[in-house]
Structure 1
Amino acid sequence: MAALKMARKPKQNPSFFKVLIGDFVNKLRIPPAFVKNFQGNVPTNFTLKSNSGSSWRVTVQNTEGSYFFCGGWSNFVEDQGLDSGDFVVFYLVGKSSFDCVIYGPTGCGKKIVLKTKRKRGRPKKSNEVTPSEAGASSFQKATRVSPGCRITRAPARRVINVGQQIVVVSEAISKHPSFTVVLKKYQKFSVVVPSSFAREAGLAEKRSTVIKDPKGRMWPLGISVGSRQVRLSAGWTKFRLENRLVAGDTLLFQYIRGTGNAIHVQIVGKAGYGNSGR
């Protein structure tokens, strides 16, 4: 059975991602290329569902043709404990709701601990949505896989094209170790693997491994182990070129035990849809 299963009735869910930098606390810009999905009819309100199991209503502001999450966004940021350098993927569900997957600066799924909890009997905030109103969240609680890396679960997805955008493929980040990389120009010949992932996958004890691309093709790669880091090296250039990867593309690496110990790679986002890859 394939390690990355497709949903029986997969839905085409457009998505975009943002690396939180600058003045992200009060507002967040929706990528112009993503706005085209609404065909000129952008909702004035959205519901954001996080992997913590809660939901928030946010308003959208149009400023000189650019659309921003504004009213209610700062509450989402505070309650989710978002910090500069965090990475958020937004999956559009329906016409006015987003499922949000949050990563820390390490590229690993971020464990969310709500900073504000409503006491029993206290009226809910205007921007807070109960599960009965928004629908049960499809996210599950974070699972610890190593001291520095927590992995979350998200809904099933499949690869779709939205303009030039490539969206997440699989059933999500599950109990398996994973990390994300926004490719830089200097990563043409190799890519560094986070130490927590390298430990989980046992890469430091290997001289080579195999990665599986979104099309199911297998690629043997050499492993270079240094005093402070582990790299995927020999074979990386061919993998990158054959999959047409460029600086700014975002990849999700996932290690799934019991499937030949291959590292599964998915294309989360393409250059120009949230990151420049400089």
Structure 2
Amino acid sequence: MARRRSGHPKRKNAVKIVGAEFFKVFLPKFSSHQLLIPPDFFENFGRTIKEKVILKNIDGKTWYVDVKGTPNGVFLQNGWQEFVDYHGLKVGEFLVFRYEGSYTFMVKIFGTNGCKKETFESKIIAACVKSEEETDEETKPKQTSRKRGRTEHSDRFGEVNEVEVDSPSNQKTARDPKLLVPLD
């Protein structure tokens, strides 16, 4: 072992376990069914790593993934494929694994454009919100030129008590209290 000038043995760059990170570039040919944990990262755990770890995405969703030691290294295996499928990982995407303790890794995924990739769940939520907004626009009653809608306001706190709405088929009165915020 090489000695430093101070007389202490030279050690490998030891990283603090909690908060330690490693990255992988996703290459389907090599990492769609299993993922090699970098040997230097794994050495930090010694023999304390369990047979299962938890992968957590930025939305907090978790996957239980088997850890398997082989002569070729330590791999994430059973459960890894589900993680890959859920996130729709594509060639060249960049994954950052951050150890949070208790055998849990937070995984951030970056697309080939260098930006953090939204999870599938986030995309669904965004699509649903957009769809609801579009539906709301389509179902809003259109005012006719015959008559304008009338709104009665309460003087106190700008509360709406009653709203008349014109519709092509008939005239309706909606009783849906809403709060109006004064802009002064």
* TM-score normalized with structure 2 length: 0.54
Aligned pair in 2 of structure 1 residues 23, 114: CA closer, same or farther (>3 Å)?
farther
**CA-CA distance at 1:58 after TM superposition:** 0.3
Q: Distance in 2 between matches of 1:39 and 1:102?
A: 27
- Is 1:70 aligned with 2:77? yes
The one of 35, 40, 59 equivalent to 2:42 is 35
After TM superposition, the structure 1 = structure 2 runs for residues 202-241 of structure 1, keeping only pairs within 5 Å, are none
Number of matched pairs: 108
Gap regions ≥5 residues in structure 1: 1-10, 118-140, 143-278
Give the letter aligned to residue 89 of structure 2. Answer: L
- Maintained 8 Å contact 1:88/1:101: yes
Distance 1:12 1:53, change over 3 A: closer
Higher-Rg member (1/2): 2
Give the corresponding residue for 1:109.
116
Q: Deviations over 1:231-263 (max 9, x none)?
A: xxxxxxxxxxxxxxxxxxxxxxxxxxxxxxxxx
Asked whether the 8 Å contact 2:109–2:117 carries over to 1, the reply is yes
User: Alpha carbons of 1:40 and 1:12: their partners in 2 closer, same or farther (altered >3 Å)?
Assistant: closer
Alignment of 1:112-131 (within 5 A): 112-114=119-121
Give ranges in structure 2 of 5+ residues lacking alignment: 1-16, 127-184
Q: Which amino acid in structure 2 is aligned with residue 40 of structure 1?
A: R
1:130-166 deviation digits (Å, cap 9, x = unpaired): xxxxxxxxxxx99xxxxxxxxxxxxxxxxxxxxxxxx
Instruction: Give the AA of the match of 2:24.
Output: K
**Greater RCO structure (CA 8 Å; 6+ sep):** 1
> Secondary structure at the residue paired with 2:49?
coil
Q: For the Cα contact (< 8 Å) 2:97–2:108, is it kept in 1?
A: yes
Aligned to 1:25: 32
- Give the partner amino acid of 1:39: G
- In structure 1, distance between residues paired with 2:32 and 2:112: 17
Distance 1:96 1:12 in 2: 10
Q: Distance in 2 between matches of 1:98 and 1:109?
A: 17
What is the identity, as a one-letter code, of the residue corresponding to 2:102?
A: K
Residue type of the alignment partner of 1:87: F
Q: What corresponds to 2:96 in structure 1?
A: 89
Separation of aligned partners in 1, 2:119 and 2:39: 28
Q: Is the 8 A contact 1:81 1:114 kept in 2?
A: no
Provide the secondary structure at the position in 2 that maps to 1:29. Answer: strand
**How far apart are 1:41 and its partner, in Å?**
2.4
Distance 1:31 1:79, change over 3 A: same
Structure 1 match to 2:53: 46
SS for the counterpart of 1:17 is strand
On the 8 A contact 2:94/2:109 being kept in 1, the answer is: yes
Q: Which amino acid in 1 is paired with 2:62?
A: S
8 Å CA contact retained: 1:48, 1:99 = yes
Are positions 1:14 and 2:20 aligned together? yes
Aligned-residue offset at 1:40:
2.3
- The one-letter amino acid of 1:17's match is F
Structure 1 segments (4+ residues) deviating >6 Å: none
- Where 1:75 maps in the other structure, the secondary structure is helix
- Cα offset for 1:71? 0.3
Matches within 5 A, 1:183-262: none
Higher helix share: 2
